[in-house]
Amino acid sequence: MKRFLYTLVVSIVFTINGVIGAQAGNVKVSANLDRPYLLADEEQSVVLKVGLSAEGDSARGERPPLNIAIVLDKSGSMGSDQKMENAKQGVFEIIERLNEGDIISVVVYDTYPRVLIPAQVLKDKSEVINLVSQIYPSGSTALYGGIELGAEELRKHMSDYCLNKIVLLSDGLANVGPQSTEDLASLGRMLSEEDVLVSTIGVGLDYNEDLMTALAETSGGNSYFAKDSYELPKIFAEEINEAKTIVAKNIKVYIDTEKGIEPLGVIGRRGEVGDKYFETQINALYGKNEKYALFEMKIPKAAHGTTKTVADIRIEYTDPATGKIIKSSQKINVQYHKDADFVFSKEDKNILKQTALTKTSEIKNQAIKLADEGKY
């Protein structure tokens, strides 16, 4: 069966009325079907892309309170090339940019993880800086345990009103405890479901890029590479400044399919698929980026000229400025056409590319998992 593609764009614009001195922010939600013009009299599958982006100037004068856990690799390899000293400077940069009322904790790990600074409302920055300045490198790399312990500290002050974030820095490979890419990706997915973002910073050329990228992506955080440790203060500062651009959090996407439409799967994200619905979650949306989810479904055949409603798209998210829940919904249709050339000429190359890249990434992750298990 030939596949022919076309694009239909449906846009919904939400306006967030910020408080706490924040500017008004806009979230644009677009629904795009890669094949809403289908070849008549054939059963076919389509991919629905639901994308979210900020409109206008999303920078806020104020930001939501932070509940941040800094997880710092202090293994022996951090002693080379001033890595440890520059990592400390990066942590100092975060501390100086935190506000009164923010919550901070610091976890360090080598062969074992341990809490250096328990989760607490920041009051005395100099005391925190003094404790961090006393960190010295030694031992192995219990990366997974460090993240778990950082999450435990965050949970002490978890709140829908706070932005809950772990910032991880490491220069090497995890070699104590769970250490495969799939292990860390699973941990990232679990933390995402708890509304925790994990941003990872890899230092030097020998760190495990696949592992740290998977951890960041599955949690909804950022992944950075610092060619040398002198870049760390700038990266840490960027992580704090990003909080001023957050426009939505706890984003839930619900897709209710119409009669005769068969949900096949959520592509590239963890989600739930039922007989007549999809559900998935996007942790947070910042002004500088777009977040999206891809849903694949099977569409029954119909005659030329038929218009069929495919699904009802429902979006729900938290306004980080007010804590209020914003909801909206939109239906999306598919049309049938007998002219194959016409249908083919309307295909959306961008959705095709995003779908192919996402599926390729899933296959790559599965291959890495099998290789880690020795199933070459």
Strands 291-299 and 44-55: antiparallel
- Cα 313 to Cα 14, 22, 90, 282, 292, distances in angstroms: 14, 29, 42, 15, 13
Please state, in angstroms and rounded to a whole number, the distance separating the CA atoms of residues 16 and 169: 34
Which DSSP string do the residues of 303-358 spell out, in sequence order?
-TT-EEEEEEEEEEEE-TTT--EEEEEEEEEEEEES-HHHHHHT--HHHHHHHHHH
Q: What percent of the chain has a predicted confidence (pLDDT) above 70?
A: 88
pLDDT, mean of residues 86-92: 82
Please state, in angstroms and rounded to a whole number, the distance separating the CA atoms of residues 203 and 88: 13
Q: At what angle do helices 232-242 and 83-97 cross, to 10 degrees?
A: 30
Determine contact, residues 106/130, Cβ cutoff 8 Å: no
Looking at residue 56, what is its pLDDT? 59
Instruction: Dump pLDDT digits (tens) for 302-337.
Output: 999 999 999 999 999 888 777 788 888 889 999 999
pLDDT at 165 over 80: yes
Question: Model confidence at 245, in pLDDT bands (50, 70, 90)?
Answer: confident
More confident residue, 205 or 305: 305
Contacts for 40 with CB less than 8 Å, ≥ 6 apart: 301, 302, 303, 304, 305, 306, 336, 337, 338
Which residues are bridge partners to 311 per DSSP?
257, 332
Looking at residue 62, what is its pLDDT? 65
pLDDT, mean of residues 218-224: 84
Residue 6's CB: how many other CB atoms inside 10 A?
Answer: 21
Question: Model confidence at 298, in pLDDT bands (50, 70, 90)?
Answer: very high
Looking at residue 17, what is its pLDDT? 26
Looking at residue 41, what is its pLDDT? 93
What pTM value is reported for the model?
0.68
pLDDT at 212 over 90: no
Question: Model confidence at 274, in pLDDT bands (50, 70, 90)?
Answer: very high
Please state, in angstroms and rounded to a whole number, the distance separating the CA atoms of residues 203 and 227: 6
Query: What's 40's DSSP letter?
Result: T
Looking at residue 7, what is its pLDDT? 28
Instruction: Dump pLDDT digits (tens) for 8-36.
Output: 233 333 322 222 222 223 678 889 899 88
Amino acid at 48: L
